[in-house]
Structure 1
């Protein structure tokens, strides 16, 4: 984990810390469980909602339908989120279509980040190809979109399908556009499909604000797992007549933590300074362990792996 040691030290809480987190519902239970395993108290304050819609489902199904399914002309599918995998799988399961790939032909690649790859099961592969040997599952050693680009290698003009979110009510973070541009630079032909919608969720920070209003502040840390969550938080605070600077003044001991360097950079660009950045971002254990390290010692900084 990487700790920002330039700021004033945040002393460890004297009681079990309260950890606010802004992740959408699809990730909330996983992060909450990891927080509880530390003996801490999770406080879910969602700033986004993430859902599939009939339009996004039909957008995915387009690639499976017809006598010559368009997916047959692709060499890979690159998933940048767990939600994208779920949306893709559910869209395929909802139609009575034969697997688009037959027993013979070139290798087809399914790629995903970190623990998201656990969803690329045998049954998932079977929906795509009658011969599982034709499908490889690729998990980059560094669980970031740029790591995924590097792991896919040279595209040589081949097509890669990219199921990504359609962002509504917020400015789209640069992560997806940069991912698509990175694939193009490596010689791939990336094709974007809006697999689900990410929307700003107003009112989700009521619990966070209530905790901050308590004497001595009842929130010890806040965890961000995406740049969009940070923007959603800022928009929600603005709706209440607050801003991030006011949050810092109300809760000077509040520790802001990011689940990986991509989220940290995005947060900083939005004016939200980050204290703790997990370098082990293939799972939520990394950011929770980074917080634990922060409170135990301010000299356990390590270089990112």
Structure 2
């Protein structure tokens, strides 16, 4: 079980991006720290570093942190990783995913997958949960039958293509919407004609569930799909002191949010220190950026004003581009 604590920045620590996942696996505790990482590859060395000297905070859980660290450093900025939510695969969620695919009886293990016509992934964690349940087992989908649609958002589709049953079964059609949002996925799926679609989503603990998942399921139902919710993993609050590191920073030029739950987690932690959002932002004249319109909308509902919203949100590169453009525009005016 992974937990998150707050700690002061240790100047002698250097966390290499290429070894980031190894670091997390070796440590039972995920440390909230100012992340200074480097890579052996000199990616973008000749490229103009558009965010040189900036300090950019972000609140993503660990499964997305590596990608943002790389993009931020590539532009010459310093990443300040402060996760406010934690993503976990518990014994309970693992069992739920397994039971959605397989049935164990006296004969052996039989597949339950053929009752569905599609599966809709809205996160990397959902895909990972399925990969774990399929590990070491055969193809859960019979090769004969109608097209089976596997939907995913943006770059997460790369993980879908690695799922064994997606590669080996001619029935499978991978669907990646042009607009990388749950609504975009619903629109691309089209009319469900009362077919069943499995939706691996998070079980939210310690926070109010953002409207994203309920809205997604209702939109599928409205399109004629029989949407089956599957709590495939846990998203939980990182704890009351998860924002402590940010409160101690002397410089934060921007903060990037990639989900509504992250924002709620930060606000809840700030409240435990007697600080509200306006007080926190007043300490730092920072740019507040949202990865896509769904996160921006959730922020507005929580009273957090967003300055920059990425237009290209199939990848985190979009929000980095939006930040660079924002500062570039300000410099031109000056």
Class of the TM-score when normalised by the shorter of the 2 chains: 0.7 to 0.9
Q: Hey, what does 2:145 align to over in structure 1? A: 105
User: Partners of 1:267 and 1:74 in 2: how far apart?
Assistant: 34
User: Partners of 2:283 and 2:101 in 1: how far apart?
Assistant: 53
User: Partners of 2:291 and 2:183 in 1: how far apart?
Assistant: 16
Q: Hey, what does 1:4 align to over in structure 2? A: none
User: Partners of 2:245 and 2:217 in 1: how far apart?
Assistant: 36
Any gaps of 5 or more consecutive residues in structure 1?
1-12, 301-305
Q: Hey, what does 1:263 align to over in structure 2? A: 295
User: Partners of 1:229 and 1:81 in 2: how far apart?
Assistant: 14
Residue 265 (structure 2) aligned to one of 211, 228, 232: 232
Contact between 1:75 and 1:158, CA under 8 Å: does it hold in 2?
yes
Q: How many residues align?
A: 277
Contact between 2:141 and 2:169, CA under 8 Å: does it hold in 1?
no
Contact between 2:193 and 2:224, CA under 8 Å: does it hold in 1?
yes
User: Partners of 1:91 and 1:70 in 2: how far apart?
Assistant: 13
Change over 3 Å in CA distance of 1:34–1:255 after alignment to 2: same
Pair 1:174-2:211 in alignment: yes
> 1:276-291 to 2 correspondence within 5 Å?
276-291=308-323
> 1:136-215 to 2 correspondence within 5 Å?
136-202=173-239, 203-211=241-249, 214=250
Contact between 1:64 and 1:97, CA under 8 Å: does it hold in 2?
no
Tell me how far 1:299 sits from its aligned partner: 10
Consecutive aligned runs of 4 or more in structure 1 exceeding 2 Å deviation? 66-70, 126-129
Change over 3 Å in CA distance of 1:107–1:32 after alignment to 2: same
Any gaps of 5 or more consecutive residues in structure 2?
1-49, 104-108
Contact between 1:100 and 1:128, CA under 8 Å: does it hold in 2?
no
Question: RMSD between aligned alpha carbons?
Answer: 1.8
Contact between 2:52 and 2:75, CA under 8 Å: does it hold in 1?
no
Contact between 2:176 and 2:185, CA under 8 Å: does it hold in 1?
yes
User: Partners of 1:181 and 1:72 in 2: how far apart?
Assistant: 23
Q: Which has the higher contact order (CA 8 A, sep 6+)?
A: 1
> 1:239-250 to 2 correspondence within 5 Å?
239-250=272-283
Tell me how far 1:241 sits from its aligned partner: 1.2
Report the more deviating stretch, 196-205 or 290-299. Answer: 290-299
Alignment TM-score, normalising by the size of structure 1: 0.87
Alignment TM-score, normalising by the size of structure 2: 0.80
Change over 3 Å in CA distance of 1:83–1:263 after alignment to 2: same
Change over 3 Å in CA distance of 1:262–1:199 after alignment to 2: same
Tell me how far 1:179 sits from its aligned partner: 0.2
Any idea what SS the aligned residue of 1:62 has?
helix
User: Partners of 1:166 and 1:103 in 2: how far apart?
Assistant: 32
User: Partners of 2:259 and 2:204 in 1: how far apart?
Assistant: 13
Contact between 2:56 and 2:252, CA under 8 Å: does it hold in 1?
yes
